[in-house]
Amino acid sequence: MTKPPPVTATEPVAPPSVPPLAADLDAGLRRLKLAAVRRTAPEVLITARTQRWTPEEVLRTLIETELAARDASNVVNRLKAAAFPVPKTLESFDVAASSIQPKVFDYLSSLEWIRTRQNLAIIGPAGTGKSHTLIGLGTAAIHAGHKVRYFTAADLIETLYRGRPTTPSARSSNPYYEST
């Protein structure tokens, strides 16, 4: 019969077990949909107890954890909803190699045009960085908390065509539709 090898100092030691939250607290946090608080509260409470945190510090830490988790989740969901064909960022765009003037690029990157409720459409020949710029701007806008939807001109035309009224009654009830 072979003996198991002796435990040496180089082997990792398992962290002490963190006791779970009381069932009623866990149920309440689940009902309130505070998943990040539910996940981190046991460790935060142990840290708070050992470091003698004030109740405000405990609450602040738990709220910051939940907000950070929700912000990260919102970014992931908005990136999916944006339907970008490929991931791109403004940082990976080479302004010097493009025909976009640096001042224009800086203005677009500031997202001020979104705050002033201006639309943006970029047109030009193939290979000039239009898609990269738009996807990068969209990604930056998502990280700034905005909702974004990417589509090509062909996608837009098809969407508008499919949404046009097809029956006479639908045409007459739509004040924006003009028959030609």
C-alpha to C-alpha distance for 166 and 170, rounded to whole angstroms:
7
Q: Is residue 27 part of a domain?
A: yes
Question: How many Å separate Cα 114 from the centre of its chain?
Answer: 17
Token output for 168:
């006479």
Buried b (16+ CB within 10 A) or exposed e, 38-76: bebbbebbeebeeeebeeeebeebbeebbeebeeeeeee
Count of domains for the chain:
2
Q: Which domain holds residue 76?
A: 23-82
151 in the same domain as 116: yes
pLDDT band per the 50, 70, 90 thresholds, residue 29: very high
162 in the same domain as 107: yes
Residue 72 has pLDDT above 80, yes or no: yes
Residue 64 has pLDDT above 70, yes or no: yes
Spell out the long-range contacts of 71-80 with Cβ–Cβ below 8 A and sequence spacing 24 or more: 74/145, 75/142, 75/143, 78/142, 78/146, 78/147, 78/148, 79/139, 79/142
Q: Is residue 57 part of a domain?
A: yes
Q: Is residue 179 part of a domain?
A: no
Non-local (6+) Cβ contacts of 86 within 8 A are 135
119 in the same domain as 76: no
Q: Map residue 117 onto helix, strand or coil.
A: coil
Non-local (6+) Cβ contacts of 19 within 8 A are 42
78 in the same domain as 124: no
* Separation of first and last alpha carbons in the chain: 93
C-alpha to C-alpha distance for 41 and 156, rounded to whole angstroms:
47
Name the CA radius of gyration of the chain, rounded. Answer: 27
pLDDT in tens, 84-113: 999 999 999 888 888 888 899 999 999 999
Q: Is residue 95 part of a domain?
A: no
pLDDT score, position 179: 54
pTM of the complete model beyond 0.75:
no
Residue 68 has pLDDT above 50, yes or no: yes
Residue 14 has pLDDT above 70, yes or no: no
109 in the same domain as 74: no
